[in-house]
Amino acid sequence: MSTSTAQKKIRVVVAKPGLDGHDRGAKIIARALRDAGMEVIYTGLHQTPEQIVETVIQEDADAVGLSILSGAHMTLVPRIVELLKEQGIDDVLVTVGGTIPADDIPELKKLGVAEVFTPGAPTSDIIDFIQGAVAERE
């Protein structure tokens, strides 16, 4: 297959910002995205917003999935979005997953988060959303 006909793999950074020490869900999502044909870069635990943005830049990611269970999403997500903007990165899809109160979801979307996935969201929904949203941006 020549490179001109090969479909470019979607590159997704899956990140665990902050002090949250639970990554089972992030690993399940990372595996599901990989199984769906995406290239997944998993950052591991305890990443700072700066480290996450640096990884997004270095990996030339199409999307970043932030997994947050610690309750610090209204601090961490705005900082990551701000850092992406400061770096001139406006074409990376930002999604958030984890224990996010329903009241915070509109505020996160106002900041530029494309979608928020709460516990129990089927991996197929996450895959479909990322594939559709990245295709729209190309």
Per-residue three-class SS string for 78-131: HHHHHHHHHCCCCCCEEEEEECCCHHHHHHHHHHCCCEEECCCCCHHHHHHHHH
pLDDT tens string 65-96: 999 999 999 999 999 999 999 999 999 999 99
**What was the pLDDT predicted at 6?**
55
Domains, the chain, in order of start with CATH, read 14-136 (3.40.50.280)
pLDDT band at 5 (very low <50, low <70, confident <90, very high): very low
pLDDT tens string 39-62: 999 999 999 999 999 999 999 999
**What was the pLDDT predicted at 62?**
98
**What was the pLDDT predicted at 3?**
44
Element containing residue 33 per DSSP (H, E) = helix 24-35
**What was the pLDDT predicted at 8?**
86
